[in-house]
Structure 1
Amino acid sequence: MPHKAKMYVKKDEADEDFRTKIQIAFEDIIEPLGVPDGVELMIVFDSWWFSSHFITDCHELDYHVTCQLKSDKLVVPDDGTALQVTDYVKKFNTDDYEITRIEVRGKKKRYLTVERIVKLDKIGDVKLIISKRRRDTDPRYYISTNINLTGAEILSIYEDRWNIETAHREANQKLGFKDYQLRSKKAIERFIQLVFSIWTGLLILELNNPDESRKPKTIGEMVDEIRAEGLVELVKNILEYFNLPIPDGGLLHLIREMGIKT
């Protein structure tokens, strides 16, 4: 669920209270969280957000972090020699990679992985996952501050982050997120909150009405379904107003004949 979505203002356009995106994420979202006792919170982000200071701040709140690691970051394996992660990968041959299978968003995925505990500067011990989709593809690198997690668990946690990209795409395509024609910062932020309030409402509706006979619907599919239902009601009212019969095949058939996706 998009949380506290707001417009980001660049430093050269902001006032004296400018904060970086990482500062905003920590101070406005992570730090104020009220986590119930017994709940283990995992902060997940992609490589753009990687910052040793950010990670240690999260760790000081007793939150673990799982994230993607850029290829130029230094890791320190057991022998104590600091290496860029790309050079560290060269130490492993084909036989060192193990098959790791996970299931995410209803799909089964297979990876070739190496997992090791290494040290990161200013962070300490982390579980490093070197992951490939196939033997001839370039690896990707992931870390977790929870070194007790398996490679499959870390990859599954990181894969869940993809829902953020889904939210952006479907908000753009289905909820008009990129279609606003507003100029003031306040108006834009109101529009952002409106779009993601609708997103959240649809998501809660789907979660509260599960149908085990089918896979969960995407927000885009739900929006299309609601639009189709609204269009059916509109056509039905028009037909009733003019005392016209419902066409053969029903209203949905008529709407599809008009080239409208339902």
Structure 2
Amino acid sequence: MYLREKSRWLKNDEFRSKIEIQKEHVSQLVYLGLNFSCVVMDIWYFSKNLTDHIESLGKDWIAQSKSNRLVKSKGKWISLKKFGRKMLNNGGFRVVELGDQKYLMKVFTVTMKKAGKVRLLVSMNRHGNINFYVSNNLEWDELAIATRYSRRWDIEVWHREGKGNFGLKDCRLRCDDGVSRYLTLSALADTLLEIASMLSPVYAMLKNQGYTPEMKHRWILTELVGQLISSVSKMENVEVKRIMEGILCPYTSTMIKNTSV
């Protein structure tokens, strides 16, 4: 179970940090035989404790980094923010397209404090915002790091939309059993949603649009409502009236039965 360090419920060795929990999850995925080669993570999970564990399992990793992390430049430790600005002024950045967006990017092999020798990607968008991404794979270029990390957003969208559309909003992920339940139920729900959407005449169009759980859910609801309206429109007015009466007056039959006793 995950508990806050100062929780009044804390007992001896019960506390486990989010890093320790993620280490266990990654180990379980490897044990279960999941086919993956790289772990991507946001700023809050970029910890040497976690990255060392991932490497020990034979996997690569990519993490977004805070701009105040320190790297060595000409024998001195400077922040990524200063390093990035300095390198941008020196030029040599390439234009990389991800989807419909263009970025200026360049990779460097640097020594980072509390991380060691790493591959650093400096990326600037069209608004001038600079982001930093770090990897243990020293051979990857700008496109290799950027394309792998960009998939994290698709995964996040899948989980965020999935929790809402699969009815799992209140599913807690603070323990191993909770995570296992969530992954099992979400995978099952997504499979059923996929099968239902495959029966739709617009499936090919949905597939081309790279649809998400939210989009599939909306299309299936649209299909069902359309079928319902089509079915009702074919009924005679008497039948429609009976259906409406059943919806609006659900207790009529009970009331009649009670009055007859």
Q: For residue 58 of structure 2, what is the aligned residue in structure 1?
A: 62
Cα distance in 1, alignment partners of residues 193 and 72 from structure 2: 42
1:114 aligns with 2:106: yes
- The one of 23, 26, 29 equivalent to 2:23 is 26
Q: For residue 257 of structure 1, what is the aligned residue in structure 2?
A: none
- The one of 171, 186, 191 equivalent to 1:201 is 191
1:91 aligns with 2:86: yes
1:46 aligns with 2:42: yes
* Shift in alpha-carbon separation, 1:155–1:175, aligned structure 2, 3 A: same
Q: For residue 170 of structure 1, what is the aligned residue in structure 2?
A: 161
What does the per-residue CA deviation read over 1:136-159, in whole Å, with 9 as the maximum and x for residues that have no partner? 623110011111011111011111
Cα distance in 2, alignment partners of residues 10 and 75 from structure 1: 31
Q: Which amino acid aligns with 1:20?
A: S
1:147 aligns with 2:170: no
Does the aligned pair in 2 maintain the 1:64–1:145 contact within 8 Å? yes
Greater RCO, 1 or 2 (C-alpha within 8 Å, sep 6+): 1
Does the aligned pair in 2 maintain the 1:56–1:123 contact within 8 Å? no
* Shift in alpha-carbon separation, 1:166–1:235, aligned structure 2, 3 A: same
Cα distance in 1, alignment partners of residues 45 and 196 from structure 2: 30
Cα distance in 1, alignment partners of residues 93 and 32 from structure 2: 36
Q: Which amino acid aligns with 1:114?
A: K
* Shift in alpha-carbon separation, 1:189–1:146, aligned structure 2, 3 A: closer
Does the aligned pair in 2 maintain the 1:102–1:156 contact within 8 Å? no
- The one of 117, 121, 124 equivalent to 2:116 is 124
Stretches of structure 2 that go unaligned for 5 or more consecutive residues are: 240-261
Q: For residue 229 of structure 2, what is the aligned residue in structure 1?
A: 235
Cα distance in 2, alignment partners of residues 207 and 14 from structure 1: 46
Cα distance in 2, alignment partners of residues 81 and 203 from structure 1: 55
Does the aligned pair in 2 maintain the 1:129–1:142 contact within 8 Å? yes
TM-score (norm 2): 0.70
Does the aligned pair in 2 maintain the 1:44–1:158 contact within 8 Å? yes
Counterpart secondary structure, 2:162: helix
Q: For residue 214 of structure 1, what is the aligned residue in structure 2?
A: 208
Cα distance in 2, alignment partners of residues 163 and 223 from structure 1: 17
Taking every aligned residue pair, what percent have the same amino acid on both sides?
A: 22
Does the aligned pair in 2 maintain the 1:115–1:127 contact within 8 Å? yes
Q: Which protein is bigger by CA-based radius of gyration?
A: 2
Q: Which amino acid aligns with 1:80?
A: G
Q: For residue 249 of structure 2, what is the aligned residue in structure 1?
A: none
Cα distance in 2, alignment partners of residues 159 and 233 from structure 1: 38
Q: Which amino acid aligns with 1:125?
A: K
Does the aligned pair in 1 maintain the 2:158–2:212 contact within 8 Å? no
**Which region of structure 1 is more displaced relative to structure 2, 194-203 or 43-52?**
194-203
* Shift in alpha-carbon separation, 1:48–1:190, aligned structure 2, 3 A: closer
Does the aligned pair in 1 maintain the 2:69–2:113 contact within 8 Å? no
Identify, as 1 or 2, the structure richer in helix: 2
Cα deviation for residue 29 of structure 1 reads 3.1
Cα distance in 1, alignment partners of residues 105 and 159 from structure 2: 29
* Shift in alpha-carbon separation, 1:74–1:197, aligned structure 2, 3 A: same
Cα distance in 1, alignment partners of residues 181 and 55 from structure 2: 34
Counterpart secondary structure, 1:76: strand
Q: For residue 254 of structure 1, what is the aligned residue in structure 2?
A: none
What does the per-residue CA deviation read over 1:168-216, in whole Å, with 9 as the maximum and x for residues that have no partner? 44235544444x599xx9xx88985676245532576499898488322
Stretches of structure 1 that go unaligned for 5 or more consecutive residues are: 1-6, 246-262
Cα deviation for residue 165 of structure 1 reads 2.8
Does the aligned pair in 2 maintain the 1:119–1:125 contact within 8 Å? yes
RMSD value over aligned CA atoms?
4.0
TM-score (norm 1): 0.70
* Shift in alpha-carbon separation, 1:144–1:218, aligned structure 2, 3 A: same
Q: For residue 256 of structure 1, what is the aligned residue in structure 2?
A: none
Counterpart secondary structure, 2:229: helix
